[in-house]
A and B are shown apart, each in its own frame.
Chain A
Amino acid sequence: MNIATTSGPFTHGYNTVQKTMITVLLALAPATLFNFYLFGLPSILLFAVTVGSCLAIEAGCMALAGKPAKTALSDYSATLTGWLLAMSLPPWAPWWIGLLGALFAIALAKHAFGGLGQNVFNPAMVGRTAMLVSFPVVMTAWIMPHPLFSSGSPGLAEAIAITFGGHMPDTVSAASALGYIKTELSRGIPVTQSMAKVPDLMDMVLGYRAGSLGETSAIFILAGGLFLMSKRIISWHIPLSLMGSLFVMAALFHAVDPAHYASGIFHLMSGATFLGAFFIATDYVTSPVSKKGQIVFGIGCGLLTWLIRNFAGYPEGMAFAVLLMNGLTPIIDQYTRPRAFGRDSKGEPLPLGKP
């Protein structure tokens, strides 16, 4: 007599980790391709270096741990980390930024914590912030768009020189809108005045502005985010609460003191707000699991982003905000567990007689 050792259920859904990751990659593709077009060949080279490094380091870590590297690579989680990391780097940054960032992201933030699903902090954001803190000059060397096939777009030889040779042309560098306002403000020029020189709203929405490799196009990122929602990979809770709280804070302070605080719309459209809200903060592993927790998490990210942008040393705050909230995720999870059926929020049985 053999004993049946498997427990139910005897039917399963068709979702897998791999499918989830591939769907997210698909959602990222339009924004990425559009920014490849805007920032030209150097951005494509940097992207390839970053993703490639992440895959190689993932394989290396798995080999060190004595686990099969093939299964780890086939879940596409390292690809996604590399992709997001690349999207958060300045588009013409040198190759070693991609490589070092990948090392921090995969080896330190992911595998040192135990691999897929065990990391506390978002690997891509660990990679990005480690680079930003260590190499602030290189990591803030923004450029204005030089669309592919236009006269300003670097050719292959020039692109290789930029990415692998470190020959950043002096003439192209530009400030990001957030950085520009911050610098001007420190020189005593009010926001109301400096706003005249940042790209207009239309350019901000489309993405025709200086910024990280994949973050500039609000409209393409929004499309990707909505696609993920339609596929039920993410829900509205984190993006909406994040952008909502950021907008409300910014709008409130802008209404009180427009000379010092940029408007809500400006904060929404600049920096990594869209990318962060839809793709970074929604990372499964490092965000709360319950919907209630996700709203708390989103609001925290939004508030911190606004605080950092306005009062901290860096003009951009999304990456730091997400990392700080990542650290709070276990606690948020603990306090936002759903109420169990037939019990109150403390876990005691509901009283009888309540209609």
Chain B
Amino acid sequence: MKLYPIRGGIHPEYRKELTSKKTIVALPLPLALYIPLQQHIGAPAEVLVKAGDLVKKGQMIARSQGVVSSPQHATTSGRITAVTQVAAPHPSGLPQTTVVLEPDGKDEWADLPEPFADPFSADAHAIHERVAQSGIVGMGGAAFPSAVKLNLGTQKKLEILLLNGAECEPYLTCDDRVMREYPNEIIDGARIMAHALGTPRVIIAIEQNKPQAIEIMTKAASAFAEIKVIGVPVQYPMGSERHLVQAITGRETPARKLTADLGVVVHNVSTARAVHHAVRFGRPLVARVVTVSGRAIREPKNILTPIGARIADLVEFCGGFAQRPESVVNGGPMMGQPLASLDAPVVKGTSGILALTAEEINNRPTNSCIRCGSCVTICPCGLSPLDMAAYIRKDNLEGAAKLGVMDCFSCGSCSYVCPSHIPLVHYFNYAKGMLKDLENELRKNDRVKNLAEVRVIRIEKANEAKKTALAARKPAPATTAPPSNTGETKAAPPTPEEKADA
């Protein structure tokens, strides 16, 4: 099949050999599991249990709230000891509401929903419902609720389900291992998803640095004419949804549109496997494979981890640190987030935990920009990082926005190649945050302004009504109070005396 070139990109040292030959091993049940209510993009789940409750594996402990949300399930059987605040796996280390589960060691499954005997004759809606109820989110890292994406078939005409097995981030091998060890589960999940989406074709894209995965997946897919496995060039960030779609179809997703608008829906390979489990066995998403790697880890591994295990548990299972890590990263080294604490739990979007040495990170003091233009050449989004950074340094966020900083998805390629080691992504993340705040502020102002205008109109109308009423029955006293009166007195600014009192 013909592939299309994508713009820019880099070829970092992949360092996947640290774990690519390591078979997936299961983490022994830790003493406690910490299951956050928010592990996905969207609204946090609403908790259904309280301290002291006994739960079984796969039992729903928090239900989804709203359209874009996802439920949480007990990841083993045991007792809820608390619903409390625990540090989130986020750079801020801020606490979030988390269910603490003490395993009883039996790992007993709850009564699970009935498996679908023949999912391909089932109604698409029933499959969405099952995926939603199973708490499945995108397992490539973004953690967007998968059911919402599976629903796109009802709104748009879809042609291709594209399974993303590119795994373009250095170090990470969890998808590679899942593809090599559970190819049939992925293929079955993919077929179910294609059925639910109504896409006639399935393409599984795998970067060519995973030849075994390509071979095994091709073999597993050979029985199904609609499924095609394609090796894509090794070029970071090939795994970016929009870029992968461009490489496969040659079509560029317009800004502010979805790949689904081009008829392509992208799901991660591990997500397909989770769908297989949910539909064929009724099992919700309670575990995932996490690559624990980096040269500061004594024994790097691919670990099947129950959701909620502490990162410290994983590190300990890998023999602890061989040396003091310079940074511990949640995700891949390019787009992953630094961790503030090892006490944070593994969540559904955790693809890797990397303990990196200073040598691996190879960061250096920042120099002046020499305008070499490398960042412009490699930017996969066609932006001019050096110019945006210059604006942001002068706090000219508007200028940076005009140059498209909001189109940047922080792939990190520019920071990677910069010979002056300018922390470009850091600038862009800062600008994006500030610009979002600014936009929210503007929206808030607009809303306040609208409310104020509406209020003025309302008062005028009331006054008008009062006048006409007065004019109609002149002799009557004007005691009928307009309904907006109470609001008016409340909103009135305080007099100087009142201010002084305060």
Contacts and interface: CB of A to CB of B under 8 A. Distances in A.
Contact of A10 (B327, B370, B407): B327
Interface of B is mostly: loop
B18 interface: no
Which one of A1, A2, A10, A340 has the highest number of Cβ atoms from chain B below 10 Å of its Cβ? A10
A7 B379 CA distance: 18
B428 to A, nearest CB: 9
A1 to B, nearest CB: 5
Which one of B242, B360, B361, B403 has the highest number of Cβ atoms from chain A below 10 Å of its Cβ? B361
A338 B379 contact: yes
Interface stretch (A173-181, A261-269, A341-349): A341-349
Which one of B335, B374, B376 has the highest number of Cβ atoms from chain A below 10 Å of its Cβ? B376
Interface string B401-421: 011100100101001111111
Contacts of A343: 254-255, 382, 404, 407
Interface of A is mostly: loop
B407 A6 contact: no
A2 B386 CA distance: 31
Interface string A267-305: 000000000000000001101111100100000000000
Interface in B380-407: 380-384, 386-387, 402-404, 407
Given A10-B333, A14-B362, A350 B252 contact: yes
A10 B354 CA distance: 10
A11 interface: yes
B253 A342 contact: yes
The 6 nearest A-B residue pairs measured at CB: A9-B412, A289-B373, A4-B338, A7-B426, A350-B254, A349-B255
B344 to A, nearest CB: 10
Interface of A: 1-4, 6-17, 19-20, 75, 77, 115-118, 284-285, 287-291, 294, 333, 337-343, 347, 349-352, 354-355
A8 B261 contact: no
B261 A7 contact: no
Given A4-B338, A7-B426, A347-B404, A15 B377 contact: no
Nearest to B250: A355
Contact of A8 (B334, B340, B387): B334
Contacts of B420: 16-17, 117
B426 A11 contact: no
Contact of A2 (B13, B93, B373): B93
Contact of A11 (B252, B333, B367): B333
A1 B362 contact: no
Interface residues on B, range: 35 or more
Given A11-B361, A13-B416, 16 more contacts: A4-B93, A8-B334, A8-B337, A9-B333, A9-B412, A10-B329, A12-B362, A17-B419, A75-B367, A291-B377, A340-B381, A341-B242, A342-B257, A343-B255, A343-B382, A352-B262
A195 B143 CA distance: 73
B92 interface: yes
Contacts of A19: 419
Contacts of B243: 341
Contacts of B163: none
Nearest to B92: A3
Contacts of B377: 291
B12 interface: yes
Which one of A8, A14, A337, A352 has the highest number of Cβ atoms from chain B below 10 Å of its Cβ? A8
Given A285-B370, A290-B376, A8 B255 contact: no
Interface string B316-354: 000000000001010001111111110000000000001
B440 interface: no
Contacts of B335: 8-9
B368 interface: yes
Nearest to A9: B412
Contacts of B380: 341
B473 interface: no
Given A2-B340, A9-B335, A117-B371, A352 B254 contact: yes
Nearest to A7: B426
27 contacts: A1-B87, A3-B93, A4-B340, A6-B426, A7-B423, A7-B426, A9-B335, A9-B412, A9-B415, A10-B354, A11-B13, A11-B362, A13-B416, A13-B417, A75-B367, A117-B368, A284-B371, A285-B370, A288-B373, A289-B376, A290-B373, A337-B384, A338-B376, A340-B382, A342-B407, A343-B254, A343-B255
